[in-house]
Amino acid sequence: MTDHQQPQQPYYPPQPPRPPYDPTQPVTTEPGTTIWPSGGHVPPSGGHVPPTFTPPAPPAPAPAAPLPHRRAKRGVGLLAAVAIAAAAVGGGTATLVQQLTADDAPTASGVSGTNVSASSKGTVAGVAQAVSPSIVEISANSSSGKSTGSGVIITGDGEIVTNNHVISGASSIAVQLSNGKTYRAKVVGTDPDKDLALIKLEGASGLKAATLGNSDDVKVGDEVVAIGSPEGLTGTVTSGIVSALDRDVTVAKDDGQDQQRQQQYDPRQGWPFEFGGQEFNGDTGSSKTTYKAIQTDASLNPGNSGGALINMNGEIIGINSAMYSPSSSNGSSAGSVGLGFAIPVNTLKADLDELRDGGTN
């Protein structure tokens, strides 16, 4: 009798349950062939994938998070990791993060003092906008009448530089800002030899001070802007170029004592001065002083005295002090003809401490 054996059933070892998410690491079979569980990679043609046994699939897991979202998280983690590594080798995290995010970071430029903003640099409009708040109109009353000039704010609490001849002999001084606000002012110091004066507003604060430049850097042909109050027209802006340097200009040394000469002086004719042995705009009198001046063809008229001559960076390079205004046939002033003179700002800076101490008078 022959025993009949039952066919042996194949043995399948127990399989672990399928994870509820796809593995994140690739599985490598043979050299050159990689199978990505996410299904995002297709093996190149001709590649061999050995057969495998796949147990019955469990119920479908919840869908994984969208791939772009996972990439974004990896990017943030990468940035943080790189930043930490940079900090470990030299404290450069902030610089590195700034470079990596430069495309999305906003940019901004600021203005310091009266410097012109980057977007308006080199334009008359930009200079006027930046510096006009630092230029004032000065009205001085004296026994001989009222005179009008200009001045430049140099400190936030109201120190103002002007020409000595604008305030000389004044019994009262009123100053009007570019915004129309008016202050009373007192004389701090004067220097008739340089035709400079320093006055101080009473009760002022938070004013916009001008930036004083370097007149040694000025060259013939440089573009300039003049701001002042010619004929009482507050905040008038004109422009031109530097026509010459180191002009020996002679002006009356007005110390406030020669009242008779002041009464004969007609401010509508412009401030009298001499150049090359000739007198312009009237008699300069017997007491006079000479200084080196910047010559400009920017239009200056009576009332511009004490105002600012400005470079295209918004820096003060001179204090306007004299101009030539030829007389018309009826004896009145015919206006500016492009011959103006300014005291170099370096002369002012060298004299400023002395003016604050009361000056030379």
> Which residues participate in catalysis according to the annotation?
165, 195, 305
- Three-class SS of residue 195? coil
Q: Indicate the DSSP class of residue 153.
A: E
φ/ψ region of 130 (left if φ > 0, alpha if ψ in -120 to 50, else beta) reads alpha
- Residues whose CB falls within 8 Å of the CB of residue 14, separated by 6 or more in sequence, listed in order: none
Q: How far apart are the first and last CA of the chain?
A: 149
Cα-based angle 290, 291, 295 (whole degrees, multiple of 5): 120
Q: DSSP states of 223-285 as a string?
A: EEEEEE-GGG-TTEEEEEEEEEEEEEEEEE---S--HHHHHH--GGG---EEETTEEESS---
